[in-house]
A = this chain, B = another copy of it.
Amino acid sequence: MRNKSGMELNDYSTEDKVLLAVDCIIFGFDKEGLKVLLIKRDFEPEKGKWSLIGGFLKKEETLDQAAVRILNHLTGLDNIFMEQLYSFSMVDRDPVERTISVAYYALIDIASHDKELIQQNSAHWFKIKEMPKLIFDHDQMLTKAIARLQRRAKNKPIGFELLPVKFTMRQLQELYESILDKELDKRNFVTKVNGLDILVKLDEKNMKVSRKGAYLFQFDKKKYDQKVLEGFSFKI
């Protein structure tokens, strides 16, 4: 316990210190479905293997700040939805030195962040169904991240983080199908989403997506926040 010495002031100096890493599961979505961004390690150990992006916590920053810094440094991305996931602490998870890793997950729209990411030539998007084996305990992290994403997507409007600002109803449905890994009924989905009353239907159509063209929608954050204040709770 903290009070080892029996003295009044606790003595922290006898306690072990450890390295604290932050690893980040970056989710993206495009027409091929849900994806995760991985980088190929160019240093040992596990050089050449695929890995989540990660870095170390610095003394003068919080975990959230470290996660933002690491994400930005490695991808150029800024202003991204992120959430702390879980802390992983197997004793030998990193063979070089005892390292505890706090995993975060992030959601980005692949298309609108192409520029930043293209500069990252060692980074690649992998379909969630076709992930390579990852280093260390990163597979475990990914598994937990997917489970968290599925739960969150059902209960919070975070899915929109993965879409462009304007999207079609079908894109939204495909996103959910991809996250939840199951097919949804088109008519029921539309009814349910419209019932939430937090989307704006635009007068614009996306003509690329089909011959007929599909109406574009936009998430109305102001309206959503207002509804939350009134007791509304998102649920899909």
Contacts and interface: CB of A to CB of B under 8 A. Distances in A.
Interface residues of A, number: 45
B1 A70 contact: yes
B2 A43 contact: yes
A76 to B, nearest CB: 13
Interface string A59-82: 111111000001001100000000
Number of identical protomers: 2
Given A98-B59, A100-B63, A43 B10 contact: yes
A153 interface: no
A188 interface: no
Contact of A44 (B8, B47, B87, B97): B8
Interface stretch (A50-58, A106-114, A125-133, A191-199): A50-58
Contact of A18 (B10, B17, B96): B17
21 contacts: A2-B43, A7-B43, A8-B47, A9-B43, A9-B45, A10-B43, A12-B56, A12-B96, A17-B17, A17-B20, A18-B18, A18-B20, A18-B57, A20-B20, A62-B90, A62-B91, A63-B87, A63-B100, A84-B87, A87-B87, A87-B102
